[in-house]
Structure 1
Amino acid sequence: MSKRYDWDVIERLLHDVQNSVASADASEASATELKALLLERGFIAAHTSGAGGNGQGASLTPRGASLLAMIDSSIPGNDHPRQVLDEQGDALDTGTFDEVASKAQIA
């Protein structure tokens, strides 16, 4: 059975990270869990105090930028990549995502 993700929440989180904006809304718990998953699986990277930051915040990794490009709702035709991702066992598994993202017809 495929694991389903809320691509709209993930898209918003990736945009928030990209724009360094903290998210706060009714789905905060879900967003917090998804953000932790995205961090754990290398879609976003936490800023560290040794990297010139204060240890807070995050930035998109190349994998996160690729995911955002695939699911960005401002891009016409983004439903197909979301559908393909939904058909995977776990689309945010790094190996699965990297394989799907490497297919030219998806990206």
Structure 2
Amino acid sequence: MSYNWGLIQRLLHEVQRGANDSFKPRHYAEEHATQMESEGQPMPNLDSLRAEAADYESMLFEGGFIVSRPEEEGGNGENFVLTERGSRLLAILDDPQEAQRQHLADKGDAALVPEVFDEMAAGRP
């Protein structure tokens, strides 16, 4: 499995903006596809991309990259906040030099395993 890091980046940014609103990964996937197309990239299969976004939501939650947003921060039971791990992942994905993103890609399926990610993010091989 190779991760769609652009879609994961989009989802993490939406988590950041998500106070008082439900998290809608399928909708964000559609917006991501439209943006890709406007940038000259081929339009991905929307059904597959929507399913992938929903899977990423679960993976990010289960991996401790996101947690339910507390009520006092606008939580409604259907939205999230980034954890420290999630913030580190987003910083890697936002880095314009892409060296760390390549390091994530080199980890393959294990890149989002919490222990593997934490080691990689701490700068260890």
- Which of the five TM-score ranges fits, normalised by the shorter chain? 0.7 to 0.9
The offset of 1:9, in angstroms, is 0.4
8 Å contact 2:67–2:81 — kept in the other structure? yes
Q: Which moved more, 1:18-27 or 1:85-94?
A: 18-27
Larger Rg: 2
Among 42, 46, 56, the residue aligned to 1:34:
56
TM-score w.r.t. structure 1 length?
0.81
**Structure showing the higher helix proportion among its residues:** 2
Q: Which position in structure 2 is the counterpart of 1:10?
A: 8
Residue 6 of structure 1 and its aligned partner are, at CA, apart by 0.7
Taking structure 2 as the reference length, what is the TM-score of the superposition? 0.70
Does 2:89 match 1:67?
yes
Aligned length: 100
Residue-by-residue CA offset, 1:21-67 (whole Å, 9 max, x unaligned): 64411322111100110000000002366987331211100100000
Q: Which residue of 2 aligns with 1:57?
A: 79
Give the distance between the partners of 1:52 and 1:18, measured in 2 at CA: 12
Query: Are residue 91 (structure 1) and residue 91 (structure 2) matched?
Result: no
User: Does the CA-based 8 Å contact 1:48-1:56 persist in structure 2?
Assistant: no
In the TM superposition, what is the alpha-carbon distance from 1:88 to its structure 2 partner? 1.1
